[in-house]
Amino acid sequence: DRSPQLKGVITGAVDEGDVVAIYEGTTLLGTAALNGGTSWTFDLPSLLLDGSSHTYTAKGVDAAGNEGAATST
């Protein structure tokens, strides 16, 4: 699949307005809204080249913009 989707689940307390920030290295690719609870999905913004390797991290972000610790996705 050349246009994959990242998926994950937040463990811990989640409040209204919280999102997940998706990074490739230090570049913010975008944010994912929570899907009615603690799960989220993110469609990558561009196609991946065959054989290419990418590393992404996700950070929980509260409504005030405070980011949590990064986790690999």
pLDDT tens for each residue of 9-62: 888 788 888 999 999 999 999 999 988 788 999 988 776 766 678 889 999 998
Instruction: Give the pTM.
Output: 0.83
How far apart CA 23 and CA 15 sit, in angstroms, is 21
How far apart CA 51 and CA 37 sit, in angstroms, is 34
pLDDT bracket for residue 2 (50, 70, 90): low
Q: H helices of 1-73, where? A: none
How far apart CA 22 and CA 58 sit, in angstroms, is 5
The helix or strand, by DSSP H or E, that contains position 40, with its residue range, turns out to be strand 39-43
- Angle (CA) 38-53-23 rounded to 5° is 40
